[in-house]
Amino acid sequence: MVVTGESIAFFVLSMMAIGGGMMMISATKVVHMVLSLAFSLLSIAGIYVLLHAEFLAVVQVLIYTGAISILMLFGIMLTKHHVTEEDDQSPRRWHPFLSFLGVGALFAIIMGVIYQTPFANNEEVTQSYSLEALGKAVFKQYVIPFELTSILLLVALVGAVILAKKEADS
């Protein structure tokens, strides 16, 4: 395999993304988990740039690394009293091991399928990708899903406010 700038960038970014995910799983303090998740999501934005999806990279940084990470940080700071994930003696001692076995089996199946399937390598198509074409697709071809998404966001906003509001008489 020839070493190009793209492959080096992909290697570094994917290592950052996977390392962030691993740190999220293995960290002991919850705030460290949030930071490593934000790091992982930021690296995924870099992966989007490698895939000629620059607008998606910006959206990823804005929404995931910005908004959702801060929302999760609020979720932790408003709920937790002890900020560490303590490993007390739960009755299901074999649970992590069995989960690891199941997830490992799923991973093996997915990788087997991926590496046995032939993929077309038509890189020249991406030269025509532009923000203008993306906007035209969203606002012309997919305008009805776009409007439905706005309704869903409104419903989610109202629902989140009602759910998180304190009951008046309790």
Asked if 95 is part of the footprint of another protein (rule: CB under 8 A), the reply reads yes
The token pair that represents 23 in the structure block: 């740190």
18-47 mask for another protein (x: CB under 8 A)? x--xx-xx----x--xx--x--xx--x--x
144-163 mask for another protein (x: CB under 8 A)? -x---x--xx--xx-xxx-x
CA-based end-to-end distance of the chain: 66
Q: How far is the CB of 27 from another protein (least distance, A)?
A: 10
Bridge partners of residue 29, in order along the sequence: 84
Q: How far is the CB of 46 from another protein (least distance, A)?
A: 11
Q: How far is the CB of 25 from another protein (least distance, A)?
A: 5
Q: How far is the CB of 104 from another protein (least distance, A)?
A: 8
Residue with tokens 């409007």: 147
120 versus 168: smaller Cβ distance to another protein: 120
What is the three-class DSSP state of 29? Answer: strand
What is the three-class DSSP state of 82? Answer: coil
Quote the CA–CA distance of 163 and 73 in Å, as a whole number.
18
Q: How far is the CB of 23 from another protein (least distance, A)?
A: 10
Quote the CA–CA distance of 117 and 119 in Å, as a whole number.
6
- For the segment 42-81, give every residue that binds another protein (CB under 8 A): 44, 47-48, 50-53, 55-56, 59-60, 63-64, 67-68, 71-72, 74-76, 78-80
**Sign of the torsion formed by the C-alpha atoms of 140, 41, 16 and 109:** negative
